[in-house]
Amino acid sequence: MICVRLLDNPEDPLSGNTGGDCWGCIDAIEAEMGCAESLAYVRKEYEAGLRPGWIDPFKP
């Protein structure tokens, strides 16, 4: 378990269970590794205010 977020919390869109870790952690890791699909999701989540403070690793 990467963080202490309650999994599958209907009030937290980043809490989806991805096999024991939350979507919030796993998707951010995949995005930083260059996974295009995850990066697109994380960018949308950032724009929606779900990931305050996130820094896009592929923008100058």
All structural domains of the chain with their residue ranges: 1-50
Distances (CA, A) of 48 to 27, 42, 54: 15, 10, 12
The mean pLDDT values, 10 residues at a time, for the chain of 60 residues are 94 96 96 96 97 92
Find tokens 């896009």 and name the residue. 56
Distance CA 6, CA 53 (A): 21
Task: Give the model's pLDDT for residue 1.
Answer: 76
- pTM: predicted TM-score of the whole model, two decimal places: 0.86
